[in-house]
Chain A
Amino acid sequence: MLLRVLTRLAVLLASLAVSSLVVFAFMAVLPGDPARVALGVNASEAAVQQLRSDFGLDRPLPTQYLEWVRGLLTLDLGESYISRAAIAPQVLDRAQVTLWLVGAGMVVAVLVAVPLGSLAALTSRSPLGVLLSAVSQLGVAVPAFLAGILLVAVFAVGLGWLPASGWTPPAQDPGRFLSQLVLPASSLGLVQGAVLARYVRSAVLEVLGEDYLRTARAKGLRPGPALVRHGLRNAAVPVVTVLGLQLATLLVGAVVVERVFVVPGLGSLLLDAVANRDLVVIQDVVMLLVAAVLVINFVVDLLYLAIDPRLRTAR
C-alpha cells in the first residue's frame, strides 16, 4: 500500500516537472524573444532591451527556468511584463472566484446526475428510462458556454429572474453573490451532470443486480427506498472517481463560462493575458491549471485506493 502511494507520488512529481518544462518551452523558448512578443513589433530596440534586463530575460534559459520554478514553489509568480504588477496576488484573488464557480458547478452536477441517473436505471426497461437516457445524451452534446447563453436567454432575458452577468464577492453582498452564481454554475454543472448521469445509471444498474438489494426488496422495501438505503453507497465508488476526474474538466470549462458571464476568475485573467500578450501571466496561469489537474488526478487515485480495498493488493 505504502509502496503504491509512493510510486504514485513519484509519478506526480515527475509529471509536474515535465509539464513545467513543456510550459516553459512553449512560453519562454518558442517565441524566440519574449520581450519582443510582449512589446510588439513597433517597440524600439532600447525598450525591448530594457524589458529583457528588467526581467532577466538575458540570462541563460536554464537559469530562467530554475528561477521560475523556485518562484512557483515559493508562491512568487513574478511580475507582469505589461503592467509590472505582482502576479501572485491577482492569481490568488481570481482563483477564489473560479473555485466558487467550480464548486457550485460540481454541486449542481451531483444534484442533477444522482436522481436522473438512478431514475434512468430504475426505469431502464420503460419508455421513461429511454427518454431519460436520451435527455442525458442531449445534455452531453451541449457545450457549457452554449448552455450558459441559452440559460441567460431564458432566465435573464425571458423571465428576468436572474442577472445575466457580473460577479459580487460573497462577503460584500451574499444575496447578490448567490443570484449571480446560479446561472454560471448551472451552465457548468448541467452539462457535467449529463455526463455524470450516464455513469450513475450504469453504476446503479450494476448494483440493482446484487444479492443484497434483492434481500432488501424481499424484506418489503420498495425499489426506490431500497436503492437509496442500500444501493447508492455501493454505486458511489465508480461515480466518485468520475466526479474527481470531472473536476479537471470543470476547471477548464470555467475558463469559457467565465467569459460568457463576465466573471473575473482565472479564466478571464488568462484570456486577458493572451489578448495583451502578457506571457508571464499566461505561463503562470497555465502551469497552475495543469498542476491542479495533475494533483486532482493524483488525489482521485489515492481516494480510489482508500475506498476500494481490493485495489490495494492488486498487482
Chain B
Amino acid sequence: MSGRGSRRGGAAVLVGGALVALVVLMALLSFLWTPHDPTLVDARVRLQGPSPAYWLGTDRFGRDLVSQLMVGARTTVYVGLVAVGIAALVGVPLGVLAAMAPRWLGELLMRANDLLLAFPALLLAVMLAAVLGAGTGVAMVAIGVSTVPSFARVVRAGSLQVLRSDFVLAARAAGRRPWGVAVRHVLPNVAGLVIVQASVAFAIAVLAEAALSFLGFGTPPPTPSWGRMLQESQSLLFTDPRLAVVPGVAVAAAVLGFNLLGDGLRDRLDPRLEARR
C-alpha cells in the first residue's frame, strides 16, 4: 500500500481537481459569456442535434444546451457553496463543542446530531416546500441542514484526538481558557478534516440539488439547472435521449470530481495513512 497509496491519492486529487475546476470555470465563464441566451425560446431551432452553431444541440424549446449547461453549473456551485457553508458553520462549532463540553452535554449534542440524520435533505425540502413554497433557498437550507451531522461527527472525532495531545495539555496548564484552546489549537488542527468533509459534502449537495430540481423543489424556471434539464428530458426520452445524457454526464462528472478530490485529500491528510507509508 506504501508508495502506491500516495500516488493513487495524487491521481485522485488531480482528476477530481480537474473536474471540479471545469465545473467552476463553466459557472464563472457563464457570467461573462455563453454561446447563446440560455433561456431564449426559438421554435425554429427546436430539438436540433449538435452543430457548429449549437455544439450540443437544442432542447424542445430551441434553447441552447451548452448555454443551459453553463448557467446550470452556476446554480449547482451556488447551491453547493451555500449548503456546505451552512453545514460547516453549524456542524464545525457543534463538533468542537461536543468534544470539549462535559461528557453528558457532549453525548446529548451527538444524540441530537444523530436525530438530524433521520431527516434527509429530501424530506426537509418537501416539508419546507409544502409550507413556504419551493425555491433555491429552500433547497439550500434543506441540503445544508441535512449535511450538518456529517461535519459535527467528523469534527468531534478529530477534536477529541487533538484535545488529548501534549500541546493542548501544555496550553491548558499555561492557563489558556477553553475558548482560546478551541480557536488556537483545535480548529487549526481539524481544518484538514473540514476541507475533506466539505469536498465530500459538496458532492452530496450536487446530487441532492439535482434530485430536488428534478422533482420541482429546486431552482424555479426559467433559471437553468441540471436537475430540471433532466426532468424536462424525460418526456422526450423516446425521441431524443441526448437531452438526458448531456445534463446527466454533467451531474455525474461534478459528483465524481468532488468525491475524488475529497478521497484524494483524505489520503494525503490522514495521519494514520501517513504512518503506514
B227-242 contacts to A, CB under 8 A, are: 230, 233-234, 237-238, 241
Please give, as numbers and ranges, the residues of chain A lying within 8 Å of B127 by CB-CB distance.
Answer: 23, 26-27, 282, 286
The stretch that binds B, out of A51-59, A102-110, A174-182, A251-259, is A251-259
Q: Is the CB of A15 within 8 A of B118?
A: yes
Q: Is the CB of A26 within 8 A of B256?
A: no
Q: Is the CB of A31 within 8 A of B131?
A: yes
The stretch that binds A, out of B48-56, B189-197, B206-214, is B206-214
The stretch that binds B, out of A39-47, A115-123, A150-158, A221-229, is A150-158
| Closest residue of A by beta carbon distance from B125 | A274
A6-44 contacts to B, CB under 8 A, are: 11, 14-15, 18-19, 22-23, 26-27, 30-31, 37
User: What separation, in Å, do the CA atoms of A66 and B204 have in the docked complex?
Assistant: 36
Chain A positions near chain B (C-beta within 8 angstroms)? 11, 14-15, 18-19, 22-23, 26-27, 30-31, 37, 137-138, 140-143, 145-146, 149-150, 152-153, 157-158, 164, 248-249, 252, 255-256, 259-260, 270-271, 273-274, 277, 279, 282, 286, 289-290, 293-294, 297
Please give, as numbers and ranges, the residues of chain B lying within 8 Å of A297 by CB-CB distance.
Answer: 117-118
| Closest residue of A by beta carbon distance from B248 | A146
Other than A37-B131, A143-B207, A256-B214, give 18 A-B pairs with Cβ distance below 8 A.
A15-B114, A15-B115, A19-B115, A30-B131, A140-B259, A142-B255, A143-B211, A143-B255, A145-B230, A146-B248, A153-B237, A252-B123, A274-B126, A274-B129, A277-B130, A279-B131, A286-B123, A293-B120
Please give, as numbers and ranges, the residues of chain A lying within 8 Å of B248 by CB-CB distance.
Answer: 142, 146, 149-150
Q: Is the CB of A255 within 8 A of B203?
A: no
Interface string of B118-136 (1 = CB under 8 A from A): 1110110011111100000
Chain B positions near chain A (C-beta within 8 angstroms)? 111-112, 114-115, 117-120, 122-123, 126-131, 203, 207, 210-211, 214-215, 217, 230, 233-234, 237-238, 241, 244-245, 248, 251-253, 255-256, 259-260
Min CB–CB distance A228 → chain B (angstroms): 25
Q: Is the CB of B211 within 8 A of A256?
A: yes
Please give, as numbers and ranges, the residues of chain B lying within 8 Å of A157 by CB-CB distance.
Answer: 237-238, 241
User: What separation, in Å, do the CA atoms of A18 and B245 have in the docked complex?
Assistant: 42
Please give, as numbers and ranges, the residues of chain A lying within 8 Å of B118 by CB-CB distance.
Answer: 15, 19, 248, 290, 293-294, 297
Min CB–CB distance B242 → chain A (angstroms): 10
What's the dominant secondary structure at chain A's contact region?
helix
| Closest residue of A by beta carbon distance from B258 | A141
